[in-house]
Structures are given as C-alpha cells and as structure tokens.
Structure 1
Amino acid sequence: MSYVEQWNGYAAAKSQSALGSQASSTGATIIRQTGGVGGRTTKAAIESQEVRRDGMSTRGRHGLRKATGAYTSEYSVGGFDDIMQAVLRGTWSAADLAITEATAGLTSITTGANTIVAAAGSWITAGVKVNDVWVLTGHSSAGNNSRNLRIMGVTALTLTVAETLTVNAVADTAFTMTRTGRVLVNPGAGALVKRYYTVEEYEYDTDRSEVFTDCVWGSFKLSMQPNGLLLFDTSWVGTGQTEVKASGASPHFTSPTTPTGVPLAVVEATVRMNGVDLVDLTSFDITVDNQPVAPDVISASPYAPDVFSGSEMVTMNLTALRKDLTFMSDFLAETPYSLHILATENESEPKSFVSIAVPNFTLGSVDKSALAKAGGPRTQSISVPAALVGVDVTGAGYNATQVQIQVSNAT
C-alpha cells in the first residue's frame, strides 16, 4: 500500500465546450500552486426525524452534492490568463495592437516630459485607452524607445504617460506605438461569456485522480507584502459532478502543459493611485468575484443543474505609512479615485508584465493605527468595499469597465 506524499501531485484544468461536456484529455494547463484546499466535494446530511423508543437514531441519507475548489499561487506572466478571462466573463483582445504615423491621420509626434503629442488625427480613433501600457519604437530620441509607458490620459492629440520622457519638439514622422500583449475588460451588456471547466487533481503515488466537471471560476485575489512575491488566489464552484478515476485510467488529462513564467516580485511592482506612484504601501490586495452559486433543487439528479453567477464585485485593501490626511479628506469628500498596478519581471526594458487597473471607485474607510511607545511609523488602513467600485463612465479614451487587465504575452 502506497501512501500519498503531500507534494507528489498536481491540479490541471481545461475549458469545456459546454455545460455537461467534460473536457477532452489533451490541452489542459497545470494550475501552479503553493497550497489551498483544492477541490472538495460535500453532500448534505439529511437527518431522520423518527423518534425511536430505544433512544437511538435511524441512519439518515445523503442529499445534494456540492463541489468547490480553491488554490493559492504565486503570480507569473501567462500563468493564469484563462482564469482571469473566466472570472471577468470577457475575452482577451487580439495581441500587439500597433499604430504608426499613418494611423488615424496622426502624421507626426513630438514629446514633452510626460506627453506624446500628435500633429493631427486622433489617438482615440487609433485605439489608445487610459490605463493601457504601450511601447514606443523608432523615435528619434533613443531614450524614449522600448519602454513600458503607462497611459494616464488620452485626448485626440495628446497622450499623458506616467513615465518621464526625453523632451523633443522636433516633429517625428516615422514611429511605431505598440500596445503590448492583450487586454481584458468587462464586456458590455449581452456580451458576457460563461465558461465551464473540467478540473483534475492527480496523485502520482496512487495513480488516481478526482475529476470535477462543470466548474465555473468565480474569483481571484492578487495580494502584495514587502519582500514577497505577488500572490494569486483563485476559486471555482461546480455543479457537484465529481468522479474518482481508478489506477490505470488516471490521469484524465494527458501531459498537461505547465506555464513557465517566473513568479513576480513585489519589489518590481508599482501601484499608482490618482496619478501618484505610491512608495509607502505596506500591504495591498484586490479581489474580483462574480459570485457563483450552485443552487439546491428538487431533482432525481444529485447535482445542481448549473452554476449561476452574479454581478461582479471588486474589493481592495491598502495599508500605507501615514504622512498626511489626504486619504481622510478624500474619504469625507467622496473623491473619485483610480488605481493602476504594473508588476514586471526582472529584465531589461520593455519588461514582461501584468497590468491591472480599477478606474472608478471611492474610499470606504480610512483607519489610523494606534499610538505606541515603540519605534516605527504610524500607518493607515484603507478599505474599498464592492459597493463603492463602479464601471468607468468617462467616455471616449476610457474603457467602460470595472477592471482592466493587460498581459504582455501574446498567447
């Protein structure tokens, strides 16, 4: 008899063609993880209410099945694209959108310290949006080329970027701007895409696996702490369809692919809030949750007929060193905020990255830490509940979304 060692297994997932259609054996992807409870199937315990004169109980029965799963991971570029797409119920854009001086009548550009100014035409028509990350190439000022540029403002003629550029007032008539990788936003009304997944958890020591069908990815959480890696927690809800694969019939998925990106470190991440790169954060997390539910029903089947999602809920928590009362003043005034995260790999520019933006929210609370005799800074904890995060309704040059994600990988 072989016992299972706690490291000697894996979880893998693949999208299904439809509800009730278990994914085929090829093309699955390993869920890289550091822990989490994994997949779990439960059944309701139905208690018999019979009153027995011997003072004992009649054995009850099993009720409906429930299946859920949760994994903790370290975020790497390209490692969780399918999950983020499923949670947002959107679709990744085509890769590497490129524009030149010939696009949308732009003609030529000049650069200011934080601006790229077109002589004519329209950046908006060309497809540039606030919170995008673009790379400029072919520019006459070498220092402006091949850098990740965070777009913080868009008008027809002017792009405002967070990075400092080389000022060049001479019109440049040969350039290329590329929106690196792909962008994911909340789709519009009637365009949400519901995706079902088959998830397998395989153990090498017993050559057996649990296979969960009709799983819906419901949430992800990105969190950061000083001197740490970006952590990425995910969860799904299933209809309860679970099977145990016997030795010889396991695993269901044949040679699932393992993403190869390196985990991203917090030291290479920048959090920008309302136009300022924060340098005094001590913790940060953001959670996106579409609230999936598998309902109880009266049926001859022990499973839920489907998994039903709700409205997308976005929450955030920040802790920062306390240097002034700006956050408190903005909390009292209900000042609209925007937030942009850029986390990169440790490499030369243009670096591989993930970008996450929350464009429209207000602060839910600002709480200061207690005074103390010990040395150290006073901090303030800021929470943003789901009720105070909304769709961006700014209009032209902005995506109408609650969350915008961009990854530098093309596939």
Structure 2
Amino acid sequence: MSIGEGVQARLAYKKYASGVIIENELADSDADLGATGAQVLRRLQSTLDLKSTFNPSQEVREDQQVVDSRKGSNWVEGSISGEWSPETYADLFEASFRGTWAASVTGSETDFTSVTLNSAGTITFAAGDPVAKGFRVGYPVQFANLATAGNNGVNFTILAFGGTSNRTLTVFPAPITETADTAFTVTQKGKSLILPSRQADNVNRKFGFEHYHPDVSGGLYKLFTECRVGGFKLNMPAEGNCTIEHMVRGRFMETGTGGPFFTDPDPETDTGIFNSVNGLLRVHGSAAAVVTGITLNMDRKLTGTACQGQNFFPAIHVQKAEVGGQITMQLTGGTTFDDFKNETEIDLLSQLVTGSASNADSNIIYCPRIKLGSAINPLQGEAAQIVTADFTALKYVGSGAGIPQTTIQICDTTL
C-alpha cells in the first residue's frame, strides 16, 4: 500500500452548466457535472474537506457513560490558496463577485479624431468622450499604429479623467511625448469585473473540485460537489510573491478509485506570478513608496442550514460582499492619522505585473472609496516606525468621471 504524496496530487475544477441548487436532492455528478472539460488549478494547498455534525447522547445513565452518538448534516468547507497569477483564478473571482467579466472597450481616430501623448503622464484626445465610450479608471489600455513606436503595445493604466468631455487621461507609466496622431487604435487590454448593481445581474455559480491522488490505491479521487465560492484573501507583501486564497462551501464529497473523476482536464495556466516590487500602488490619489504590505479581502459568509429528512443542506447561501483589508506603511507624516480621524474617503489602486516589460501581464485592483478604521503606530525599536491601518471598502456612489459604481473592480489583461 502506497502513501499519498502532496507533489503527486492534482487539484482540478469544473463549473456546472447551471448554478441552481435543488433543495431536496443532490446533483448527479455524471449527468450534471460531467467528467470532461475540467481545468487543473495551480495551488499551494486546498483545505476542502467533508464536515459533519455529531450529536452524542445527553442521557444521564446509571453507568455514567455515553452509549450512542448520531451523525448530523454533511457539508464541504475549506479554501483553495495559491501564488497569485493572472487568468488562473478568473473563474473563482467571477463566482465571488457574482458578476461577469466584461468584454474590452476599443476606440480609434473615428471616435476621438486624434491623440496627443505627453511624458508628464497624460494622453489627450481631440474629440469624443472616452468615458461615454466605456473606458474607466483602473483600465489598462494599449495603443497600436501610433507614429512613435515606443508608445505602441504599452499597458497604460488609467488613473483619472479630466478636461473637456473627459478627453485628458492621466496614466501610468508616462508615455513618450508625441504630437497629435490621427491614425491609431486604443484598446482596453483584457476584461474587467465589478460587483453588480442590480439583483437581476447577480449570477449564481457552482463548481466541482477534485483532489486526485494517482499514487493511492491505483488512483483515489475525492470530488467535492455543488460548491459555491464566497470571497477571497489577497496578500501583497513588500517583498515576496503575492498570494491568494478563495473560500469555498459545498454540499457533499464523492470518492472513487481506479482513476480520476475528471478525465483529461486542461493543463494548468502558464502565466507568471505577481510580485509587489513591480507595478504601481496608489493610495489617496498618489503613488505610495513606503507601503510595506497590503491585504485585501472579500467575505460573503457562505452558510448552510440543516433541515429534517435529509443529511445535506438544502442550499448554500451567499451573503453581501464585505470588502476590506489592511495597509502597513512606514511613518512619514500625519496624513494617515488625519484620514482616520476625519473619516476621509480615499481610493486604493494596485497594479500587479508579472515582470518589468511594458506589456507584462497584470491584474489591477481598484477600490474607489475606502475608509480607514484604525491608524496604529506604537513606538517601538530603533528601525523605521510602522503605521498599520485597517480599512473598509464601500460602494462608490459619486459622479467622478469614469469611476465605476462598485466597491471593487478587477481588470485582468490576459482574459
């Protein structure tokens, strides 16, 4: 008998064709999920497991012992964690948001007549309205066919709109100065995802996740069925790779031997891993150079309720999206304390890239409205003094140009 090794194990997943959970029956994995069309998922670990309540007898007996215990409802609970890379976790993000990745936006000289680029960090169109066209703060955009070759194929992140009809874009990185060019295309790179504003736009999704151990009993699998994804934890340290963890809750676990349930799944993605040393971090409208770490979490508090006559939950309930986190930074002044004391609403934009190339794959996280819940700065040690600020993200309800009406937006250039 062989003992299972972690390096041999495979984690794979697949979306069900329907996200509906039927309250009084479990899904048929062969018919409702199917063995083909799955995806191997990169991971650090998966803590998914089948849980159950146990109810030992409370009888008081003459022998002063417990002689019976009954098993209660089953459910699946745990999380899937990995080193954060673009594309890899797109399906799980979409499930947590209950939204849908939106297709990219494209424009050209037909929409804007001409474009002028300035090394001060601005791009200005001569006509049209890029916001009305669909461009937003936090979008990465690329130009093609510009006369200055160095401005083509660069991922410029939009930081703000200004000027007449929002035609002046503040961007990062700064472009090469170029006079008015009348032959070009400008395209949002990848897709964007926000929390839906209407109930009708919320989408329920459910997944099957498989742990496959090829070195145990000729192939042992554990298939976790009808799983909802209900939030994530993003960790962006000053040094080291960024990590991601998705919270999962499901209804049941099936097991089998002789091979995997998912046959011939698509291989793992091959995108690079994010490291916070590269990219951009902007807090309160300014690039931050002294931040030593950020965590950003979404919690949707997945729950289930036991009912009589069946040993599985009739539903997995997804609650509202609570978004928040923590920023740690070196002490340089009193702005953070003032923001905390005055309940000042600020923004947070983090662009994470997989390398130093101007068109490196990236994810851009944008929270247009956050409030600090603390600003802790104990006097300690002899090195740099650290401020720790917890924050809560809120839905943006203002009218700023090109700012999405959401609590959080993600853009992924690989989609």
User: Contact 1:13–1:29 (CA<8 Å) still a contact in 2?
Assistant: yes
Partner of 1:136: 143
Is residue 331 from structure 1 mapped to residue 334 from structure 2 by the alignment?
no
Look up the SS of the partner of 2:375 in the other structure: strand
Partner of 1:218: 230
User: Contact 1:88–1:290 (CA<8 Å) still a contact in 2?
Assistant: no
Look up the SS of the partner of 1:268 in the other structure: coil
The within-5 A match list for 1:187-206 is: 187-189=196-198, 190-206=200-216
Distance in 1 separating the partners of 2:28 and 2:194: 27
What are the Cα deviations for residues 72-119 of structure 1, in whole angstroms up to 9, with x where unaligned? 20011211110001100111112x43210102xx21122332222222
Look up the SS of the partner of 1:53 in the other structure: coil
User: Contact 2:276–2:352 (CA<8 Å) still a contact in 1?
Assistant: yes
User: Contact 2:278–2:356 (CA<8 Å) still a contact in 1?
Assistant: no
Look up the SS of the partner of 2:358 in the other structure: coil
Partner of 1:260: 270
Is residue 398 from structure 1 mapped to residue 403 from structure 2 by the alignment?
yes
The within-5 A match list for 1:271-290 is: 271-290=281-300
Deviation (angstroms), 1:40: 1.1
The one of 389, 394, 397 equivalent to 2:394 is 389
Question: RMSD in angstroms over aligned alpha carbons?
Answer: 1.7
Distance in 2 separating the partners of 1:238 and 1:79: 21
Deviation (angstroms), 1:232: 0.8
- Count residues in correspondence: 397
The one of 345, 349, 352 equivalent to 2:361 is 352
User: Contact 2:85–2:274 (CA<8 Å) still a contact in 1?
Assistant: yes
What are the Cα deviations for residues 346-395 of structure 1, in whole angstroms up to 9, with x where unaligned? 253211111111111111111113233x3x1111001113xx52344436
What are the Cα deviations for residues 252-287 of structure 1, in whole angstroms up to 9, with x where unaligned? 101222111122222223211122221111111101
User: Contact 1:352–1:408 (CA<8 Å) still a contact in 2?
Assistant: yes
Deviation (angstroms), 1:203: 0.9
What are the Cα deviations for residues 28-67 of structure 1, in whole angstroms up to 9, with x where unaligned? 112211124x211121111212222122222111011121
The within-5 A match list for 1:168-317 is: 168=178, 170-189=179-198, 190-206=200-216, 207-239=219-251, 241-245=252-256, 247-248=257-258, 250-257=259-266, 258-298=268-308, 300-317=309-326
Partner of 2:24: none
Change (3 A) 1:392 1:75: farther
Deviation (angstroms), 1:217: 0.6
Change (3 A) 1:142 1:363: same
Look up the SS of the partner of 2:201 in the other structure: coil
Structure 2: stretches of 5+ with no match in the other structure: 22-26
What are the Cα deviations for residues 309-359 of structure 1, in whole angstroms up to 9, with x where unaligned? 111011111111101011111111221111111111225321111111111
Could you tell me the percent identity over the aligned residues?
26
Look up the SS of the partner of 1:102 in the other structure: helix
Distance in 1 separating the partners of 2:40 and 2:384: 42
User: Contact 1:111–1:167 (CA<8 Å) still a contact in 2?
Assistant: yes
Is residue 41 from structure 1 mapped to residue 50 from structure 2 by the alignment?
yes
Partner of 2:126: 119
Distance in 2 separating the partners of 1:134 and 1:83: 24
TM normalised by structure 2 equals 0.91
Report the residue type matching 1:222 in the other structure: L
Distance in 2 separating the partners of 1:390 and 1:313: 10
Report the residue type matching 1:145 in the other structure: N
Distance in 1 separating the partners of 2:116 and 2:5: 61
User: Contact 1:359–1:392 (CA<8 Å) still a contact in 2?
Assistant: no
The within-5 A match list for 1:7-86 is: 7-18=7-18, 19=21, 20=27, 22=29, 23-36=33-46, 38-86=47-95
Distance in 2 separating the partners of 1:313 and 1:382: 17
The one of 125, 131, 156 equivalent to 1:149 is 156
User: Contact 2:121–2:170 (CA<8 Å) still a contact in 1?
Assistant: yes
Structure 1: stretches of 5+ with no match in the other structure: none
User: Contact 1:114–1:165 (CA<8 Å) still a contact in 2?
Assistant: yes
What are the Cα deviations for residues 208-250 of structure 1, in whole angstroms up to 9, with x where unaligned? 11111110011111112233101111120112x21111x22x3
Report the residue type matching 1:108 in the other structure: S
Distance in 1 separating the partners of 2:338 and 2:197: 34
Deviation (angstroms), 1:166: 3.1
Is residue 378 from structure 1 mapped to residue 388 from structure 2 by the alignment?
no
Distance in 2 separating the partners of 1:293 and 1:68: 10
Change (3 A) 1:121 1:130: same
Look up the SS of the partner of 2:359 in the other structure: coil
Deviation (angstroms), 1:396: 4.9
User: Contact 1:26–1:254 (CA<8 Å) still a contact in 2?
Assistant: yes
User: Contact 2:395–2:405 (CA<8 Å) still a contact in 1?
Assistant: no
User: Contact 1:98–1:176 (CA<8 Å) still a contact in 2?
Assistant: yes
User: Contact 2:143–2:153 (CA<8 Å) still a contact in 1?
Assistant: yes
TM normalised by structure 1 equals 0.92
Report the residue type matching 2:220 in the other structure: R
